[in-house]
């Protein structure tokens, strides 16, 4: 495999640009050069030069930087797991949202959000774990429902995913209505508005995302082989059930962590791998890292829009991804007659 240097460089540069831009946007707008300078000083441990710089440092370090990191990681996690699900189910419509993983994670998270925990640190631990359990249950249920003999027909997968999604969403709503005090917080969170500010969600998300996405990157070449069906994959030397379990676990872990800390954000996992596949071909060893980068870029950009459009009010970022994502998806479906799957 040639190392895909150019697309990697382009997407990385794009990510850097959006990242810096994202830190500048808000009630106090900070020019890119200044935010870089302030963070650079802080990293070198230098005291801020003046009152203005001290104020900016507080804003950047306690609010903007963690927010941008959270969005970038969430976007990468969603796009990476979408890429894996699409490859695994050999289905361009499989994304964390459509196959029920996100809603399952949502249900798991709502259960532990509405429960009363003795300490908030414990809830930071419990929310992602119960989201993971919910997501895993939902994916396995969808898979079991959709499977006919040894095959996984596209329509079945989507129908089962919709059923599982609706069911877990309904349960989540029921729980939220019953838990009066937490209703608003849970609702905003569910729409993809990160109500949790600061470094805690970043630190909470990091280990899960890192573990899940590293595992997926290592599984990328097996995902390639799995594109040809279980039988051929096995004949090409891949232990199919073993690989599939690892991929489902890793993708679901990434999804669940993203949902637990950033809410349900649709369409990232669907669109990003799709665009990446059209641009750079189907080799998962290339597609996976590029999807991660593009997912981060997309969600950062959506988050900027969410903060700018109705400023000073902030929109849940899930609304933006759906608003850009759905029409764009319809557009690429209609525009291209060529089948990519």
Partner 1 sequence: MLLQTDIHQAGYDQRIIISDIRFALPAGRILAVIGPNGSGKTTLIRALSGVLPVVQGSVHINGTNLLDTNEMERARLLAVVPQSTHIPPAFSVEEVVMLGRTPYLNWLGRSSQADEEAAEEAMRLTDVARFKGQACGALSAGECQRVILARALAQDTPMLLMDEPTSHLDLRYQIEFLQLAVGLAEQQDKTVLIALHDLNLAARFGDNVMAMKEGRLAAYGKAEDILTPENIRLIYELPVDVFPSPNGQQLVIIPS
Residues of this chain that bind partner 1 (CB under 8 A): 1, 90, 218, 220-222, 224-225, 227-228, 230-232, 234-240, 277-278, 281-283, 285, 338-341
Retrieve residue 154's tokens.
Answer: 């596209």
Q: How many residues does the chain have?
A: 341
Min separation Cβ 14 and partner 1, Å: 22
Shorter beta-carbon distance to partner 1: residue 86 or 321: 86
Q: What angle do CA 74, 309, 183 make, to 5 degrees?
A: 60
Cα–Cα distance, 291 to 78 (Å, whole number)? 9
Which are the contacts of 155, defined by CB distance < 8 A and separation ≥ 6? none
Shorter beta-carbon distance to partner 1: residue 228 or 331: 228
Q: Report the DSSP beta bridge partners of residue 151.
A: 148
Shorter beta-carbon distance to partner 1: residue 90 or 185: 90
Report CA-CA distances (Å) from 116 to 81, 199, 213.
30, 22, 31
Min separation Cβ 243 and partner 1, Å: 10
Nearest to 200 by CA among 127, 101, 107, 293: 127
Instruction: State the DSSP string of 141-156.
Output: HHHHHH-BTTB--HHH
Q: Report the DSSP beta bridge partners of residue 148.
A: 151
Min separation Cβ 61 and partner 1, Å: 36
Shorter beta-carbon distance to partner 1: residue 147 or 285: 285
Cα–Cα distance, 111 to 192 (Å, whole number)? 17
Shorter beta-carbon distance to partner 1: residue 90 or 147: 90
Min separation Cβ 4 and partner 1, Å: 12
Shorter beta-carbon distance to partner 1: residue 91 or 209: 91
Q: At what angle do helices 120-146 and 101-114 cross, to 10 degrees?
A: 150
Q: Check residue 46 and report its DSSP letter.
A: P
Min separation Cβ 227 and partner 1, Å: 5
Shorter beta-carbon distance to partner 1: residue 67 or 277: 277
Min separation Cβ 339 and partner 1, Å: 6
């Amino acid at each position: 495999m040639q190392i895909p240097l150019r697309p990697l460089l382009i997407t990385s540069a794009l990510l850097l640009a959006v990242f810096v831009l994202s830190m500048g946007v808000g009630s106090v707008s900070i020019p890119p050069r200044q935010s870089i300078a302030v963070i650079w000083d802080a990293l070198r441990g230098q005291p801020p030069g003046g009152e203005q710089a001290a104020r900016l440092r507080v804003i950047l370090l306690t609010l903007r930087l963690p927010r941008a990191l959270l969005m970038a990681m969430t976007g990468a996690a969603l796009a990476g797991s979408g890429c894996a699900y699409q490859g695994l189910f050999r289905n361009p419509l499989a994304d964390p949202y459509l196959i029920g993983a996100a809603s399952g994670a949502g249900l798991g998270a709502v259960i532990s959000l509405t429960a009363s925990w003795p300490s908030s640190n414990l809830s930071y631990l419990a929310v992602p774990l119960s989201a993971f359990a919910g997501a895993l249950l939902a994916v396995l249920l969808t898979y079991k429902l959709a499977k006919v003999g040894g095959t996984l027909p596209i329509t079945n997968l989507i129908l089962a995913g919709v059923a599982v999604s609706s069911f877990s969403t309904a349960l989540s709503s029921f729980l939220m209505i019953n838990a009066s005090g937490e209703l608003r917080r849970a609702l905003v969170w569910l729409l993809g508005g990160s109500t949790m500010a600061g470094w805690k969600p970043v630190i909470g998300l990091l280990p899960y995302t890192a573990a899940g996405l590293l595992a997926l990157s290592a599984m990328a070449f097996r995902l390639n082989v799995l594109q040809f069906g279980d039988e051929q994959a096995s004949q090409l030397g891949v232990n199919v059930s073993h690989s599939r379990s690892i991929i489902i676990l890793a993708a679901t872990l990434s999804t669940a962590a993203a949902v637990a800390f950033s809410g349900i954000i649709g369409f990232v996992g669907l669109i990003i791998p799709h665009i990446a596949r059209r641009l750079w071909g189907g080799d998962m060893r290339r597609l996976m890292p590029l999807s991660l980068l593009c997912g981060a870029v997309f969600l950062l950009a959506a988050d900027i829009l969410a903060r700018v459009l109705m400023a000073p009010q902030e929109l849940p970022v899930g609304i933006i991804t759906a608003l850009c994502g759905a029409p764009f998806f319809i557009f690429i479906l209609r525009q291209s007659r060529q089948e990519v799957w």
